[in-house]
Amino acid sequence: MFNEVNCGEKLDTLINKELKTETFPGIEILYAKGSEVLLHKTWGKMQSGNSSPLLLDTIFDIASLTKPVVTATLLLIMQEEGSLKLSDPVQFHLPEFAGRGKKRITLRHLLTHVSGLPAWKNLYESVKNPEEAHTRLMNIPLEYSPGEKMIYSCIGFLVLGEVIRKICGKDLSAVFYDKIAKPLKLRNSLFSPHKNRKNLNNVAPTAYCPIRNKVLHGMVHDENSFAFAEEGGNAGLFSTAKDLHRYTQMLLKEGELNDVRILTQESVLEMLKNQNPLALTPRGLGWEIKKPLSILNKTSLACSCGPNYPDDSCGHTGFTGTSLWFDPISKQIVIALSNRVNLSRENNLEAIKRFRIKLHGLLNLNNSSRRMKTLKPTSVVTHE
């Protein structure tokens, strides 16, 4: 239970434990009910070692949160504009998308991870430019027939990014800025900060990359996205908790924020509802959808928000250590941003999964009998 009496103490205890066990060097959490921010706070440091404290409004590489925030949202906008339909075969827009069984794959298949494409393939090794990466991407064979199985596929969203680029005739970053970031006033949401910002002091260093032989600071962590000029449909966006809160408010207000409409009500409803058959893992358009655990599967931790967050909530995670979950009914929003890969690419992966489950269970408004007191935004440095 999370209420005005014990909220701060329980959250501090939870996060300080994760800092000591090196789940992440620091974390920023924004918790809101609709537009009302109930908690916005940081713990820990910008990176491992003797570094400066993590401050509010730090810009993070949000990794796979790019999938719903950029790629899925843009495709729905473009459908409204008439430049595509989600029922379109991918080959209608990318004739070079070749291979056995691929004629049946639609944009909707890719958005819901049921295309039959594999989860991941190395597209960056020995690739000289984005054009070579594109050719390699287009020729990846299917592992399953379309609609047969839900496989969370970064490859599928890379294909969707190429569809957007082809139709719009612009880089993904430019389309995102024109159609989402500029109208929503997402002032700190961008691709490739190292190219577009002179000062990177408020950008969290992500991790050391042995392939690029440097610490990535404002450069995309995902290697496949890097092969696509740092603008893959699967990953590449950098953002802040405040910007993600504005974006999520737009969805909770049925596509409109501050008299600016990004999506129609119908598009938002379609985006946030389960698209997959009952036999397959539930997915919205770009989003993970939480459904009740079956009686035979009470201990399942498959959903990244855990079993205690409201059913029919929508969310997504990012490999770098980021997550966003929201409940369309209660309007509660949980944004947790960290650069956990700064400490380790793999060693703390299971730890952050367990942490997310505890965090969302703690912050679930539906389990609280008392209204949570609004906490002033603060930055807290925890010394290990």
pLDDT digits (tens, 9 = 90+) for 173-200: 999 999 999 999 999 999 999 999 999 9
The full DSSP string for 283-310 is B-SSSEE--PPPGGGTT---STT-TTSP
Token pair of 50 as six digits: 């003797």
Q: Quick check: pTM over 0.85?
A: yes
Q: Each residue of 302-327: pLDDT tens digit? A: 789 999 999 999 999 999 999 999 99
Question: Is the confidence at residue 249, as pLDDT, over 90?
Answer: yes
Q: Is the pLDDT of residue 368 over 80?
A: no
User: Is there a contact between 262 and 47 (Cβ–Cβ < 8 Å)?
Assistant: no
Other C-beta atoms closer than 10 Å to the C-beta of 363 total 26
pLDDT of residue 292: 81
**Average pLDDT of span 77-90:** 99
The 10s digit of each residue's pLDDT in 86-143 is 999 999 999 999 899 999 999 999 999 999 999 999 999 999 999 999 999 999 999 9
Domain annotation for the chain: domains and CATH numbers: 7-68+174-380 (3.40.710.10), 69-170 (no CATH)
> Hey, how many other C-beta atoms are within 10 angstroms of the C-beta on 288?
23
Residue-wise pLDDT for 197-224, tens only, equals 999 999 999 999 999 999 999 999 999 9
Closest CA to 154 of 186, 113, 125, 104: 113
Alpha-carbon distance of 276 to 96, in angstroms, equals: 27
